[in-house]
Copies of this chain bind each other. A is one copy, B any other.
Amino acid sequence: MERIGLAVIGAGYWGPNLVRNAQATPGLRLEYLCDLDVSRARQVLGDYSTVRASASLDEVLADDAVGAVAIATPAGTHLKVALAALEAGKHVLVEKPLAANLAEGRRLVEAAESRGLVLMLDHTYCYTPAVRRLRELVRGGELGDIQYLDSVRINLGLVQPDVDVLWDLAPHDLSVFGAILPDGVEPLEVAAHGSDPIGAGRACVAHLTIRLTGGAMAHVHVNWLSPTKIRTMVIGGSSRTVVWDDLNPSQRLSIYDRGVDRRADLGAGEREQAIISYRVGDMVAPALTEREALRSVMAEFAGSIAEGRRPLTDGRSGLRVLALLEAASESLATGGTFVPVKTEVAA
């Protein structure tokens, strides 16, 4: 396989992880680490690297050895950086969220699609062995009809200077919802409540409620202020319910054959109570192969370029997340009422 020349843009928090994993990906050849602060790029590369550091995006994009870029700069810069890359004919892998808002995101999707370039979101969690298995379980019907989803992502996190806790953390949960829900189950409307108890100027604690096609409800709790760290998602189905605890490496997924059933109504004489029944069956924790998710992200990026196909988390998956975030922000600003999700933009 021809190796694709890659430049990583941004040497901040996430950039070093992209650099490390790109170097370990057979289909990629890392050419540059680019950062406005070139000394930061040099420090990330260290003293023993043959990879070039650059302070100039223009230089990088002008280099024919570079066929693709991976962007790990602040969300506010995604439009400018990614658009320049696409216009220079480079395939793009971009950190979540795709852009600072839905309109900007749509411009990027259009720019990529019109040029036949890969635009891929680094929705890292979607590439974990746990979420891949969740996707199989949900879409394969093993859980039955999805009844509710509940995701908690809280810890003592960095209060971001430019985005609130919803835009910072919820993209993880929302992208996973998108990856695992069956076709036809779509978010219809969103309500959000938030608070800023430390006076940071933006919500530090938030709760998101999403109504889905078919009546199920999804809930997301994100919190920058929690002294304890929790990363749990429950997906309740009519047949089984699965709990994903990302902080329990020895048992990330637990599939419960437990639930409440409501049998068909038995007639006027029967009381309501009589037709509710409970299942308390076994729990199975499937064996999962541990593999760094970002390694799989890089492999998918290289593979989708090489094969000229859409990646699992393409630009449209990024638009769906942006549509949810925008609706959530509108709800937050208007007292928590339900706001419709503009899913058509992501169609």
Q: Do A260 and B337 touch across chains, with their CB atoms under 8 A apart? A: no
Chain B's closest residue to A243 (CB) is: B228
Q: Do A256 and B227 touch across chains, with their CB atoms under 8 A apart? A: yes
Q: Do A285 and B282 touch across chains, with their CB atoms under 8 A apart? A: yes
Q: Cβ of A219 < 8 Å from any Cβ of B?
A: yes
Q: Cβ of A250 < 8 Å from any Cβ of B?
A: yes
Contact partners of A278 in chain B: CB under 8 A: 156
**Interface class of chain A by DSSP:** strand
Contact partners of A228 in chain B: CB under 8 A: 234, 243, 250, 254, 256
Q: Do B205 and A217 touch across chains, with their CB atoms under 8 A apart? A: yes
Q: Do A227 and B259 touch across chains, with their CB atoms under 8 A apart? A: yes
Query: What's the nearest-Cβ distance from chain B to residue A29, in Å?
Result: 8
Q: Do A191 and B221 touch across chains, with their CB atoms under 8 A apart? A: no
Binds B, one of A45-53, A173-181, A301-309, A314-322: A45-53
Q: Which of A267-325 contact B (CB under 8 A)?
A: 271-273, 276, 278, 280-287
Given contacts A191-B336, A197-B217, A217-B197, contact A260 B150 (CB under 8 A): no
Contact partners of A227 in chain B: CB under 8 A: 236, 241, 243, 256, 258-259, 283
Can you give 15 A-B contacts (C-beta < 8 A)?
A48-B51, A49-B49, A147-B198, A148-B197, A148-B205, A197-B215, A200-B262, A200-B272, A221-B221, A227-B258, A251-B283, A281-B287, A282-B284, A282-B285, A335-B337
